Chains A and B, each alone.
Chain A
Amino acid sequence: MSLNIENATVIYPGTDGRPPTEALQRINLTMDDGDFVVTIGASGCGKSTLLNLIAGFLAPTEGRILLDGTAVEGPGADRSVVFQKHALLPWLNVRDNIEFGLMLQGHAKAERNKVADHFIALLGLSGFENSPVYALSGGMQQRVGIARALTCDPKLLLMDEPLGALDALTREKAQELILHLWHDTGKSVFFITHSVEEALFMGTRLVVMSPRPGRITHQFDLPFSRQFLEGISARTVKASPDFIQIREEVLAIIFADEEAV
């Protein structure tokens, strides 16, 4: 998998007499196989817009998005999205939600079951297969969303603040779960978050964006997720001097943006 975003600009037309919004201005970004790119930035800086662009829900006003050399023309099963919320289907139980993508693609019931079983076990949802999704906790709902995104074996996993609604403890567990999944499956991940600590801990690369117009201002290569996967505990990684130093640096950039508003 290789993703190339070349000079992508997105301008939302102004409604009700308001001026148009330049949500993204000449974004250039490349992603290679196995990358875990985390995007962070002040609210409204165009993170979701960028993800929608990669997912194909949105076409760039200018520039282009190349996935393995071909232009992205719309959504496709090679890219799966995990949304922050509201994306599960409450009329289906946990299993049917997880099988949703396979069902749409016309796979046979037996095959769907097999794949779903695998991800139900992998994400610790065993015993809840037949529960209605609205009866699950927020953390479990998010795991259903992740399982559903993984069933179709996407090359690229797009996550828009998937852990934003979780409490601190569940959130740290979910971070570790996602890192293990990423490591075990070898997929590429594009991940949006509001938490600097989460961004630094999870990514192999950090992309910092600034608002008005939305653009990429800094990029950092990160070693911390690999340290964690090599066996160092998450708390130790997050408390290391390197981690703290870069955390303060990124926080300073983002605070400067927020104050400029």
Chain B
Amino acid sequence: MKDKHDKHLNATPPAKPGLIARLAKERPTKPGEIYGVPGSGDTMMLSLATIAVLLFIWWLITTMGWIKPLFVPSPQSIVAKFISVWQEGFTGSPLWLHILISAGRVFGAFLLACVIGIPLGLAMGMSPLIRGIFDPPIEFYRPIPPLAYLPLMIIWFGIGEASKVLLIFLSVFAPVALGARSGVRSAAIEQIHAAYSFGATRWQVLRHVILPAAMPEILTAMRIGIGFGWTTLVAAEMVAATRGIGYMVLSASQFLQTAVVIMGIIVIAGIAYLFDLLMRLVERKVVPWKGKM
């Protein structure tokens, strides 16, 4: 062990990053990395190590019997539960259907929120009239937790799909619209002036300068928005749902099926994480220039 550690040190150039940083990566330090932007650097290895340690502790306390499975089931039993629910289903519906229905609600609401929220946010940024009209209602409902206006949704829109999607929509809509709105401010006055001096119309300035310059903020807002969407999913599926991951978690908790609860939570986290990875990929493709000029 000591031997291996020494060899690793010898292979590294004499630059001395912090101990944690050295543990976190197995490659020589690039010039400018130590004295670069504070907080830059790859954290992949460290993150994986954290996950491994957490899993190990989880496994240890359950295998040693320190905590009853009713409270914290073992990791193995979660995996087993996943397989059995995948094969046999939960309350009559296969797991993939629960996932599909929940994803449909969240992504449906997300798409709707983007289609309406982004143009409205841009319009709010561009026009004092529209900003004046829409700012009060959005700022009013934005800080209210969705659970608080859930009853209203049920009273107004019933217990069908509409109130569920609408609840998620509302939680995604505000961050997306406000992100697009502040994105309008991203274009430099010089860029706007340049376009006008070529004889651009107001519409052309919007299309060729304001909108592309706002893209980084819009994409960030979309990432934040879909996060809110997943957060609201379980609340939405409290409304007389018979299918969906949120419903699965809720009804399993009533029967003290802790393994299903945890499994459902992990499935939600997994899907949300995968989508976030996808969004980051989109970000790298669409705005590779982000933060560079």
* Chain A positions near chain B (C-beta within 8 angstroms): 55-57, 74-77, 79-81, 83-91, 100-101, 103-105, 132-134, 148, 152
B198 and A152 within 8 A (CB): yes
The complex places the Cα of A81 from the Cα of B194 at a distance, in Å, of 7
Q: Which A residue's beta carbon lies closest to that of B205?
A: A104
**Cβ-neighbour of A91 out of B190, B200, B215 (below 8 A):** B215
A91 / chain B contacts, CB cutoff of 8 Å: 212-213, 215, 287, 289
Q: Does B275 contact A (CB under 8 A)?
A: no
Q: Does B208 contact A (CB under 8 A)?
A: yes
B191 and A55 within 8 A (CB): no
User: Chain B binding site: helix, strand, loop or mixed by DSSP?
Assistant: helix
Q: Which A residue's beta carbon lies closest to that of B193?
A: A57
Q: Does B199 contact A (CB under 8 A)?
A: yes
Shortest distance between the CB of A107 and any CB in chain B (Å): 11
The complex places the Cα of A218 from the Cα of B255 at a distance, in Å, of 90
The complex places the Cα of A75 from the Cα of B197 at a distance, in Å, of 5
A134 / chain B contacts, CB cutoff of 8 Å: 289, 292-293
A89 and B209 within 8 A (CB): yes
The complex places the Cα of A75 from the Cα of B293 at a distance, in Å, of 25
Identify which of residues 203-238 in chain B touch chain A, using a CB-to-CB cut-off of 8 Å. Answer: 204, 208-209, 212-213, 215
A56 / chain B contacts, CB cutoff of 8 Å: 197
The complex places the Cα of A90 from the Cα of B292 at a distance, in Å, of 8
Q: Does B39 contact A (CB under 8 A)?
A: no
Cβ contacts A to B, 30 pairs, < 8 Å: A56-B197, A57-B193, A57-B196, A75-B196, A75-B197, A76-B197, A76-B199, A77-B197, A77-B198, A79-B197, A81-B193, A83-B193, A84-B190, A87-B188, A88-B191, A88-B293, A89-B191, A89-B212, A89-B213, A90-B293, A91-B212, A100-B194, A100-B208, A104-B195, A104-B199, A104-B208, A132-B289, A133-B293, A148-B194, A152-B198
| 4 tightest Cβ-Cβ pairs between the two chains A and B | A101-B198, A90-B289, A87-B190, A86-B188
Type the 1/0 row for B87-106, where 1 means its CB is closer than 8 Å to any CB of A.
Answer: 00000000000000000000
**Cβ-neighbour of A83 out of B194, B287, B292 (below 8 A):** B194
Q: Does B288 contact A (CB under 8 A)?
A: yes
A75 and B199 within 8 A (CB): yes
Shortest distance between the CB of B132 and any CB in chain A (Å): 20
B193 / chain A contacts, CB cutoff of 8 Å: 55, 57, 75, 81, 83, 87
Which of A89, A132, A134 is packed against the most chain B CB atoms within 10 Å?
A89
Which of B197, B200, B204, B212 is packed against the most chain A CB atoms within 10 Å?
B197
B188 / chain A contacts, CB cutoff of 8 Å: 86-87
B289 / chain A contacts, CB cutoff of 8 Å: 90-91, 132, 134
The complex places the Cα of A134 from the Cα of B287 at a distance, in Å, of 12
A105 / chain B contacts, CB cutoff of 8 Å: 198-199
Shortest distance between the CB of A81 and any CB in chain B (Å): 5
B197 / chain A contacts, CB cutoff of 8 Å: 55-57, 75-77, 79-81
Q: Which B residue's beta carbon lies closest to that of A74?
A: B196
Q: Which A residue's beta carbon lies closest to that of B200?
A: A104
B195 / chain A contacts, CB cutoff of 8 Å: 100, 104
The complex places the Cα of A79 from the Cα of B198 at a distance, in Å, of 8
The complex places the Cα of A85 from the Cα of B188 at a distance, in Å, of 10
The complex places the Cα of A133 from the Cα of B190 at a distance, in Å, of 16
B191 and A104 within 8 A (CB): no
B194 and A77 within 8 A (CB): no
